[in-house]
Structure 1
Amino acid sequence: MADQDAFIDAFARFLDKVVHDHERATSSDAGELVRLLDAHLGSPAVECSIVTERLPPWRLVDADAVLDALAGAQGRVVGLSVDRRQRDVGLRSILAGRHGPVGVAPIDHISMPVGPGEERRVVSRGLRLLTWGGEPVAVLQSAADPEWDREQATLEVVGASAETVDAFLAEVRRRMTADSVLRGQVMTFRPHGFESMLGGVAFVERPSVAREDVVLPDGAFERLEQHVLALGAHREALLAAGQHLKRGVLLYGPPGTGKTHTVRHLVGAAEGATVLMLSGNSLGAVRDAASIARVLEPAIVVLEDCDLIAEDRDMMGSPDSLLFELLEALDGLDGDADVAFLLTTNRPDLLEQALAQRPGRIDLAVEVPRPDAAARRRLFALYARGLDLGDEAVGAAADRAEGVTASFAKELVRRTVLAAAVEGVPAADRHLEAALDELLGDRESFTRSLLASGPSMHEGRPRGSRGRSHHGVGEEWIDEDGNGHVVLGGD
């Protein structure tokens, strides 16, 4: 027992010596970086106030631009000689000497997108030395690095005065929001790393779809424009009357009827608004999208085919959890947030119960049905624009193609042009008629279903019969009413 106690005492003295020798070594040679920092601050950095600001990866580019502006021509950035693969490399650990003497090295940079086809060279790890408000301040700027368990970017701010550090960070936050590169952009989320990415956010060009190119039922277009676009213009009047600005809009109807086309017009017309477009797997990022939209309002959050949330159990667990995320995002914003949630769905029946149980999330629901005869004529004329086709021929084709969608009309005109190109002649009425005969023929029944135009109206089914229509998202029963219109119903 005595031998064991002696061993423990000896081992404890050994550890004390190791720690003492290490502290003496680091205190006598803290490294060039710490000496440079001490000289800039005018006092030992280890005794100064340090505040760490954690940022989502996409916000580093905003921080980089703001810090460059605040530093001005007199600012300086130096690199660190510490290997990025070392864990927990931060200002506190460097000052504590946990990485040995740290020298000055070349600055690490990464390229980050700031818009479609545009990039900015950003400091991914470097120590900024600057003066703000007459006081010396330093910032260790570090990018996120998931490969080495750094899920967030960080700014570690050090200064001799805690008040100066706090005020400096407050100004950085304010400018990052006011001058964010994301403000006014159109973006989407992607689940993995691709080009043009900004921490999971990808920039896309703002679409341009003219109003006259959108064919909707009478009055629908005006309701959408007023609710999505015009409401923000009356912000002060609404808020003064105690009314909220956030709103939810649902576009519903069969596939291929023009919901996405309508969304593209609204997004293009919302000049200056920040737009976040989610679909497929990226629907799981609705909470992040709502957070960005709140910061960068006025904003629109688009959720295409949101019925997938209620069907797909593989995206982020159970569909109920994703639907809950969506409803929480709709409900979680403050009333003064100028944010519009614009949802599209092929299957409103899958969402109706959940939305009805939590009223107020959707303020406007607009149906985009299969086009009637007048709408089909407008669609066929729209897609045939620029071709030398007769008005009578286009109108007759629209009348023959009862029950089809905009997708059908678009494919019909494409086949018309292709047939003429094969012959080496301009598109003519006979090419349109031949293409329509082909698409309405028995051999193209499945093609018609893929174009969301049913197996359908041209196969001799009696009115009111029931048949399967494959719409790409599950299956639906379809009925025809007495006017020959398709009526959707649940299984």
Structure 2
Amino acid sequence: MPDMTTGDERTALLDQLKQLWELVGGHEVRAGGPALVEELTGHFGSAPHEMAVLTEEVANHRFVDFDIALEVVAARDAGHRAIGIGGGESRYHHNFSDMIQPPGVGFGGGRFPLAQVDYANVATGPDTERAAIAFGIRLFRYAGVPVAVLLRKANPYRGRGSATLEVLCPDQPTAARLLDELREISLQRSVLRGQVVGLANSGYEQAEEGLTFIARPNLTAAQVILPEGVLERVVDHVVGIAAHAEMLAAHGQHLKRGVLLFGPPGSGKTHTVRHLLSITPGHTVVLLAGDTLRFVGLAAKLARAMQPAIVVLEDCDLIAEDRDMHHGAKPLLFEVLDAMDGLDADADVTFLLTTNRVEAMERALAQRPGRVDLAVEVPLPDEAGRLALLRLYAPVGAFGEEVLAETAARTAGTTASFSKELIRRAVLAAAKEGLEPSDAHLRGANDVILADGERLSRALLGVQDSGVPGNGADPRATPDGSGSFHLI
């Protein structure tokens, strides 16, 4: 039978079928319990759709902070409670204002039932987590006024790139004051405060939205082998200013500081940083290295909010001339220095930079004066330092003082990593023989690691060829021939 319908009739029919399909797809069988609109009407004593919704977008890594803040404020009301929202997949695509419309009004009007609250386990530290509300409403009274706050976690797969708080309240000034207090408490009680975090996520550590929680190191001053006075200078500048921040601020002195640790690979710069983090448990620490250095702007903002804070930027020489990690016209190092300058002078924030090649940074430092106010050379250990390192890494009582001193004398130009590996090889050699480590094992391990066949191994431990005895070169020589670099 021929089709007698016109094009307009077919279009109208298809539109009707589409509308029917949307109604069927969005319909959810009620379980007999109250609807969301009915629950909110009872809470407010009036129709919720007549009230305005005040929405606050929250950065993903701050979501758990606002969950904590909201719990703190709601708990002041003994009658507070949390409710969930049903509605299947469609609930994720509706704003709070859509959900509270009366039955028959709009696509979402009256059809969302109550359900259990959705929770999500969120990292709050290196080995802790919290079951935070991922999708749910807290009902309570704030300053005597009933409020309902819908908290939802970011869900990029459903078109929501950031977390949100949606406040429903009959009085808008009260809603605004509530959000102000939530912001304040979220900063005071932030899970980031006092933590060590990295702006990278490998999938193996406790992480939340691009931030990785890292266990704070525990490294004493005795475990950091540096020339006399070097460690003390760094600690005094970083910790001393923080300890006297109030008096310095009262006398108009800036608190923000920049510290540059420079020296050859393996000289102890990272160990120095780890010690600083060990003795500053109240500081929030942000670690940046490699390609994460491009996040220095975010790190600076985070540090400003969570001060006292330390921002660690490792191996900055690698980005001194590099434009590949970002889309700016200048090398990334200039962007790093600009971010340092962007913080207010009263910010109790330390920028701690390390570099193996300070000469690669001199141009940037000269063109951005004042960003770094203390530059400290961390040289390779001298003979006394190498002896101290061998004592540090050696098992107690395993080797005699004579062989330790002999080994220190033979390993000029080597690094702390070299000393640590040398001791391990000696112990391993003893284990293979089924014996306790002895002087002979240390001498044997030293002979092997200094042999020509171990040249690459030495290089990977931070030792240059000039560090091998007998070549006539000074392993601590630097480009200006003085043994140290001159900062402009």
What's the TM-score once normalised by structure 1's chain length? 0.86
1:409 aligned residue: 419
- The structure 1 residue matched to 2:338, chosen from 328, 341, 360, is 328
Percentage of matched positions with identical amino acids: 45
Tell me the distance in 2 between the aligned counterparts of 1:59 and 1:460. Answer: 58
- The answer to whether 1:156 aligns with 2:161 is no
Q: CA deviation at 1:362?
A: 0.8
Q: Which amino acid letter does the alignment assign opposite residue 46 of structure 1?
A: H
CA separation of 1:283/1:185 partners in 2, compared to 1, >3 Å: closer, same or farther?
Answer: same
Q: CA deviation at 1:94?
A: 2.5
Aligned residues: 456
2:447 aligned residue: 437
SS in structure 1 at match of 2:335? helix
Report the more deviating stretch, 36-45 or 399-408: 36-45
1:71 aligned residue: 74
Q: How does 1:455-474 map to 2 (within 5 A)?
A: 455-458=465-468, 460-463=470-473
Tell me the distance in 2 between the aligned counterparts of 1:415 and 1:57. Answer: 46
Tell me the distance in 2 between the aligned counterparts of 1:103 and 1:438. Answer: 74
Q: CA deviation at 1:69?
A: 2.1
Q: How does 1:197-216 map to 2 (within 5 A)?
A: 197-216=207-226
Q: Flag structure 1 segments of 5+ consecutive residues without an equivalent.
A: 1-6, 470-476
Check conservation: 2:259, 2:372, Cα contact below 8 A.
Answer: yes
Q: How does 1:371-450 map to 2 (within 5 A)?
A: 371-450=381-460
CA separation of 1:363/1:257 partners in 2, compared to 1, >3 Å: closer, same or farther?
Answer: same
1:58 aligned residue: 61
2:154 aligned residue: 144
1:295 aligned residue: 305
Check conservation: 2:322, 2:331, Cα contact below 8 A.
Answer: no
RMSD (Å) for aligned C-alpha atoms = 2.9
1:99 aligned residue: 108
Structure 1 residues 57-102: Cα deviation after superposition (integer angstroms, max 9, x where no partner)? 1211111122122222421222222445776422123345343522
Tell me the distance in 2 between the aligned counterparts of 1:194 and 1:150. Answer: 25
- The answer to whether 1:180 aligns with 2:190 is yes
CA separation of 1:143/1:194 partners in 2, compared to 1, >3 Å: closer, same or farther?
Answer: farther
Tell me the distance in 2 between the aligned counterparts of 1:40 and 1:193. Answer: 42
2:5 aligned residue: none
CA separation of 1:216/1:98 partners in 2, compared to 1, >3 Å: closer, same or farther?
Answer: farther
Q: CA deviation at 1:284?
A: 2.2
Report the more deviating stretch, 353-362 or 38-47: 38-47
SS in structure 2 at match of 1:283? helix
Structure 1 residues 323-353: Cα deviation after superposition (integer angstroms, max 9, x where no partner)? 2431232111111111111111112222221
Q: How does 1:326-365 map to 2 (within 5 A)?
A: 326-365=336-375
- The structure 1 residue matched to 2:41, chosen from 27, 34, 38, is 38
What's the TM-score once normalised by structure 2's chain length? 0.86
Tell me the distance in 2 between the aligned counterparts of 1:317 and 1:86. Answer: 38
- The answer to whether 1:90 aligns with 2:92 is no
Check conservation: 1:50, 1:156, Cα contact below 8 A.
Answer: yes
Q: CA deviation at 1:464?
A: 7.0
Q: Which amino acid letter does the alignment assign opposite residue 58 of structure 2?
A: L
Structure 1 residues 426-481: Cα deviation after superposition (integer angstroms, max 9, x where no partner)? 1111111111111111111111111111123436434379xxx9xxxxxxx96796
Report the more deviating stretch, 141-150 or 159-168: 141-150
SS in structure 1 at match of 2:248? helix
Q: CA deviation at 1:319?
A: 8.5
1:472 aligned residue: none
Q: Flag structure 2 segments of 5+ consecutive residues without an equivalent.
A: 1-7
Check conservation: 1:442, 1:459, Cα contact below 8 A.
Answer: no
Q: CA deviation at 1:231?
A: 0.7
Q: CA deviation at 1:273?
A: 1.2
Check conservation: 2:55, 2:164, Cα contact below 8 A.
Answer: yes
